[in-house]
Every structure is written in structure tokens, then in C-alpha cells.
Structure 1
């Protein structure tokens, strides 16, 4: 009985999410995700580079509050983008939106 309820709950959750999300988000193909993945990678690189630069700058001392704030800001950007990407992956995995399994035709092809 409990398993049946959970299955029905999962179906209801999928239906509601799909009804709300699918009309708002265009169909996505793998090539549509590349700019998003690139953006997340750039934020990760900026965060890690800021840490390495900070260590080189302060050497054996602690960073200033201003320096720590800069690192914190870069982490916040990176973590926000990772969370958003994870949410998008969940939407795709749970089929809350339509996805294109074949690449979109290139405008130059035809």
C-alpha cells in the first residue's frame, strides 16, 4: 500500500512539475547545454584561481577581510551555478521538460 502511494505521489509530482516547467523552458538539446556547462566551468576556474592567487599574495599570512570577501563572492557565484545546473539535471532526469535527443539541425545545413 505504501509503495503504491509513493508511486502515485511520484506521478503527481511529475505531472505538476511538467505542467509548470515545460511551457516555460524551451526544448533543450545537448548543444544547448554547452554554454551552461562552460559558464559553470569558468566560475569554478575563477574560484580556484582566486584561491591560488590569494595564497601567493599573502604567503605565510592570513588574508584580509577584503581578500576573504573576494574569495567568498567567487565561491557564491560558483556554488549558485552548480546548484542551478543540478536543478536543470533533475528537471531533465525526471522528464519535467521536453528534451531533444537528436542534435538540432544547423542553420547552415539544409
Structure 2
């Protein structure tokens, strides 16, 4: 599993189908056949999106017989959320300032 930056996580979540897969995996571990059924996407498309989510560390796999179940990892989501919260706090503080940086 790769350790990704917050930008990698946000980029992975920017795709609507990957975002939907993440929503589904937040509720329970699922295999590709479940994700195909839930999303209506093709198996190869789901597999490609799961590879991106695995590469960014958002999902982990669990072999179960001839199937592989995918589970959402909360840590990368929490890290990205914390960074976004920091940026929001900085923006609030900057908004409160009346002083502006002078142009050269």
C-alpha cells in the first residue's frame, strides 16, 4: 500500500464513481460483484477504480475464497479532512484581517 498525500486522496475522490464506491465501502466491505450491482458500472471499470483507491491507500483488500473484499480505510480520509479544516481556519483568520499585502 502506498502512502499518499492529501492531494492524491482528494484527486481520487474527485471522480464521481470512485466517490460512490467510497460511500458504499464506508458502510460495509464489498467485493467487485457487489459494487457492479450497486453502481451499474462494468466490472473492468470498477476494478480500475479500485486500483486507484488501493494505490492511494483509501481501501484495503481481504481475500475470501475466490473473491476479494474491499474495505475503506478511515485514516487517509481523516488526514485529508484535518488538512482541509486547517485551511478553512486559516481562511477565516485571513478574512478577519483588514490589512492587505501591498503590490510591488
Task: Please give the TM-score of this superposition, normalised by the length of structure 2.
Answer: 0.36
Structure with greater Cα Rg: 1
TM-score, reference length from structure 1: 0.35
